Amino acid sequence: MKIVKKLFILFITTLGVWACATVPVTNRSQLSLVSNAEIIPLSFENYKQVLAEATLSGDAQKTAMIR
């Protein structure tokens, strides 16, 4: 039982170290469970979906600032 516990702790520690990344701008560490290559296409897809479903403001000046 002790071996299983040690292997589990080793696995979790390895996963934590492997998933850590440094943010280039602020130089801080973060835990990245999903890669940027996966997040960016999904974010663009969701942004397009929000634009298609949401109604735009009637104020043309504010709408132009956002676009």
Which of 36, 40, 13, 15 minimizes the C-alpha distance to 5? 13
The torsion angles phi and psi of 16, rounded to 5 degrees, stand at -65, -45
Residue 1's pLDDT band, with cuts at 50, 70 and 90, is: low
pLDDT confidence of residue 23: 77
pLDDT confidence of residue 32: 76
In the chain, beta strands by DSSP E: 20-22, 29-31
For the segment 2-55, what is each residue's pLDDT rounded down to a tens digit?
Answer: 889 888 988 888 877 777 777 778 888 777 778 888 889 999 999 999 988 988
Contact 16, 31 (CB under 8 A): yes
